[in-house]
Structures are given as C-alpha cells and as structure tokens.
C-alpha cells in the first residue's frame, strides 16, 4: 500500500470549493477536520434506514441501530488497543470526557492532594481539574516548559511527590504541535503512585495510539478532529478504575433499577452513558476509523511529519515571520506571528485569499502567557494537506507583507 494524495483528497468534498474567489486551502485541521465520503455516507445511511433508539426495544430498526452502535464501540477498542470494549465510554468529545473523570474520579480527591497539569494544555484539560480541586481543597500544579515549548522533564520529576494523585497531559499540543513523551511521563507518574490522564484530541488522527503501551489510566479524544462528526468522543479508562467511579450524570440507560427507595446503577459502559446517545455519531466515528485503517498509516504519518517540517521551515525562511516555540518533536500544527500585523487581521486577510487558518489563544492561555504573547496564527495539517497548500499560505503571507 502507498499514499496517492490526489485519490485521497477526492474523498473529501469540502476541499473542492472556492472561498472568496480562490481555491480553498484548509489549514485549520487542529480545530476540526473535513469529512470523507465514507463518513458522510455512514451518517446518511443510518438516518435513512436504521434510525431508532438503541437498547431495550424489540423492533428491527432498534436491533440494527444497537448492533451498529455496539460494533462501533468494538471498533474504537481495537483502534486504541483497549483491553475490553466496556472500557470505551461514549461522550460528546474530549472536553466532556475529561469533565467526566474530573467530576467522578475527582470525588476521591482530598484536601492537600495535587493534580499536575502541563502548561501546554488546552483549557479543557485545565479548568475541569481546577473545579475538582476547588470542591475538595486540592491543588492544581502547573508543569513548566522549557524555552522551546517542551515539557521540562527535570521540573516534572521534582514536582512529583506523595501528594500527587493525577497527572493530566496532552499527547500533542493543539497550539504548538509539540509531541509529548507520554510514555515517559506516565512511567514517572506511576513510580510516584499517581494516575495519568492523556488528552489525545490532537494525536489520534496522526499517531497510532496504544493505551496499553502508553501505560496511562485514562485517554480522551474527539471524533471531529479525526474526520468524524462533531458531538461524538471517547473516554477510555482502565476497567478497575471505571468500576469504582460513581456515575456523573443521572437519567435513563445508566440505571439498572429505580425506585423512590433508591437506585442501582447499570454495568459498564452504560453507567456513564445517561440519556439517548449520539448514535449516528458513534457509527460515523467507526466509519472514520475504518477509513483511516484502510490507508497506509505509516505512509500517512511520514507525509504529515514531512509536511510539518516543511511548513515550519518555509515560515521560518519568510521575512517578517516569527515561529512560536521550537519543540524537539512537532506534528500537525505550527504557530507563528507576523511583524506589525495583528493575528486577527492576518487571519481575515488570509481568508480573503482562500487560506483558512486559526488565530487567537487557541484555548491555551497559560501557554500563551508563558511565551508572553496574547495569541498566534496557527496553521494545522491533516492527511489531505499538500506542499501546494503550504506554498499558497507562504505566498499569501508575502502579499500581506507587501500590503502593509
């Protein structure tokens, strides 16, 4: 198997349009990816022929919907190499998955406990821990970065101690593209007796993820950043931990029996899946995984690594451009600033040339503060990105510089 980029790109209808009179160059993939035909067709097919609520009903449509829904769970389990599909909990996305752990496992926190959170994190992997800590009198401790935008492992080792209960870290930074040494971070945490939650939102579309090999206790990710729809995501957790954790939402599906005398809760995974789930989203997420697995993933990874290096090199070589961060390993995203042009202005003017990027603090304000900046321009890549996309971005930046 090999990578044929034109064939791959034909699978993504949204790429083939004009924006403001220019062919679309979509470089906002860290925010959300475009969807291949296989995913669009899976969602459409579900609503056309299998639309029914899952579990309990005895009619044919519900039986088919339930089978597809639970088959999707099995697909996710194989994709991340979970021990058991019952460890796969459906959520609305990474944010909800992290909040689930913070709200449920977080009830076990005690006054004085510490949660270590890297300075690279998206707000979704900071704020839930702050709320959990406030409820219990615990403390969120930031893990500092070095000058390049990598986690300072020596500082991290020094912070680990007997009060450390959990380490929360992203697999890949959404703002800088930094690839964190998650296996090493996890190993050090385990030696200190702490649990580890990994935010995998920016990793699953690019890297092979094996939760057993990583050694973490929780892994969270979203479908929409890996070519699936919005509104569907996954929390994976070790079964022995999930079994002990209390439900965090009450309602239908997550119960075994309800009376006014008391309620008994359902078994895993249903204990954490209150209410009607995003069935079509789960089915479509499975379609996205199947789409990825049908590709030559080593070739895709090499392509994306090569493009990330090319993007950083071309930006660095462009007068008036300053890269933000220089991590040892970067994948999928590069942040930069333009001399004398505010990021918001730059984003608007690039869009006028058909180039879609993201501007702002990228929901990573502590990271921005560590670099003493308010925000950046971020270009982010996907499997369908090309060298031509990057060349077009560079040409558009040069036109901005001439304009200003």
Same CATH topology for 5-31+296-403 and 40-293: the answer is no
Residue scoring higher pLDDT (217 or 259): 217
Alpha-carbon span 321 to 338, nearest angstrom: 5
pLDDT for the residue 176: 98
Task: Check if 363 is active-site.
Answer: yes
Q: What is the pLDDT of residues 299-312, one digit of tens each?
A: 999 999 999 999 99
The answer on pLDDT for 45 being more than 80 is yes
pLDDT for the residue 404: 74
Share of the chain above pLDDT 70, in %: 96
Alpha-carbon span 325 to 258, nearest angstrom: 54
Q: What is the pLDDT of residues 122-150, one digit of tens each?
A: 999 999 999 999 999 999 999 999 999 99
Alpha-carbon span 214 to 188, nearest angstrom: 12
Alpha helices in 329-403 (DSSP H): 343-351, 365-370, 387-403
Mean pLDDT over residues 11-16, rounded? 98
Catalytic pick from 4, 216, 363, 383? 363
pLDDT for the residue 69: 97
pLDDT for the residue 212: 97
Domain 5-31+296-403 has what CATH class? alpha beta
**Predicted confidence band at 34 (pLDDT cuts at 50, 70, 90)?**
very high
The answer on pLDDT for 260 being more than 70 is no
pLDDT for the residue 264: 65
228 φψ region: left (φ > 0), alpha (ψ -120 to 50), beta (else): beta
Mean pLDDT over residues 162-190, rounded? 98
**Predicted confidence band at 340 (pLDDT cuts at 50, 70, 90)?**
confident
CA atoms within 13 A on the CB side of 234: 35
pLDDT for the residue 56: 79
**Predicted confidence band at 78 (pLDDT cuts at 50, 70, 90)?**
very high
What is the CATH number that goes with domain 40-293? 3.40.640.10
The answer to whether the Cα torsion of 258, 262, 268, 274 is positive or negative is positive
- Pairing, β 333-338 against β 164-170: unpaired
pLDDT for the residue 259: 59
pLDDT for the residue 248: 85
pLDDT for the residue 261: 65
Share of the chain above pLDDT 90, in %: 90
pLDDT for the residue 266: 65
**Predicted confidence band at 275 (pLDDT cuts at 50, 70, 90)?**
confident
pLDDT for the residue 249: 75
**Predicted confidence band at 263 (pLDDT cuts at 50, 70, 90)?**
low
Q: What is the pLDDT of residues 15-27, one digit of tens each?
A: 999 999 999 999 9
pLDDT for the residue 1: 62
The answer on pLDDT for 403 being more than 90 is no
User: Do residues 160 and 401 lie in contact, with contact meaning Cβ atoms separated by under 8 Å?
Assistant: no
Q: What is the pLDDT of residues 194-253, one digit of tens each?
A: 999 999 999 999 999 999 999 999 999 999 999 999 999 999 999 999 999 998 877 666
Give counts: helices (H), strands (E), the chain: 14, 17
**Predicted confidence band at 92 (pLDDT cuts at 50, 70, 90)?**
very high
Structure tokens belonging to residue 349 = 């003017």
**Predicted confidence band at 375 (pLDDT cuts at 50, 70, 90)?**
very high
Among 49-58, 154-163, 326-335, the range scoring the smallest mean pLDDT is 49-58
Alpha-carbon span 93 to 209, nearest angstrom: 17
**Predicted confidence band at 295 (pLDDT cuts at 50, 70, 90)?**
very high
Domain range annotation of the chain? 5-31+296-403, 40-293
Task: Say what the pTM is.
Answer: 0.96
């Amino acid at each position: 198997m090999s990578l044929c980029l034109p064939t791959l790109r034909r699978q993504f209808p949204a790429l083939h349009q004009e924006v403001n009179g220019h062919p679309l160059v979509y470089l906002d993939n860290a925010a959300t990816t475009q969807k291949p035909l296989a995913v669009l067709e899976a969602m459409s097919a579900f609503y056309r022929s299998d639309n029914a609520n899952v579990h309990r009903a005895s009619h044919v449509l519900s039986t088919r919907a339930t089978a597809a829904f639970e088959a999707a769970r099995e697909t996710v389990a194989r994709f991340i190499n979970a021990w058991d599909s019952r460890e796969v909990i459906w959520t609305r996305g990474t944010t909800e998955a992290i909040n689930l752990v913070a709200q449920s496992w977080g009830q076990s926190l005690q006054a004085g406990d510490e949660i270590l959170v890297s300075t690279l994190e998206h707000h979704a992997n900071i704020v839930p821990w702050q709320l959990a800590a406030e409820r219990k009198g615990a403390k969120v401790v930031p893990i500092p970065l070095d000058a390049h935008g990598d986690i300072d492992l020596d500082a991290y080792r020094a912070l680990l101690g007997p009060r450390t209960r959990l380490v929360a870290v992203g697999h890949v930074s959404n703002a800088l593209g930094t690839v964190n040494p998650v296996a090493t971070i996890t190993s050090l945490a385990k030696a200190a007796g702490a649990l580890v939650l990994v935010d995998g939102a920016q990793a699953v579309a690019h890297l092979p993820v094996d939760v057993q090999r990583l050694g973490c206790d929780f892994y969270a990710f979203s479908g929409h950043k890996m070519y699936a729809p919005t509104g569907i995501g996954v929390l994976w957790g070790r079964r022995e931990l999930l079994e002990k954790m209390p439900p965090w939402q009450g309602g239908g599906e997550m119960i075994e029996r309800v009376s006014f005398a008391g309620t008994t809760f359902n078994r895993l995974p249903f204990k954490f899946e209150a209410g009607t789930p995003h069935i079509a989203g789960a089915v479509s997420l499975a379609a996205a995984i199947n789409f990825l697995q049908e590709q030559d993933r080593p070739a895709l990874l090499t392509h994306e690594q090569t493009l990330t290096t090319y993007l950083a090199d071309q930006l660095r070589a462009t007068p008036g451009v300053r890269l933000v961060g220089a991590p040892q390993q970067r994948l999928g995203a590069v942040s930069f600033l333009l001399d004398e042009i505010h990021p918001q202005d730059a984003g608007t003017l690039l869009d006028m040339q058909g180039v879609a990027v993201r501007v702002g603090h990228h929901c990573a304000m502590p990271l921005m503060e560590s670099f003493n900046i308010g925000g950046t321009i971020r270009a982010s890549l996907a499997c369908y990105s090309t060298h031509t996309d990057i060349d077009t971005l560079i040409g558009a930046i040069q036109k901005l510089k001439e304009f200003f």
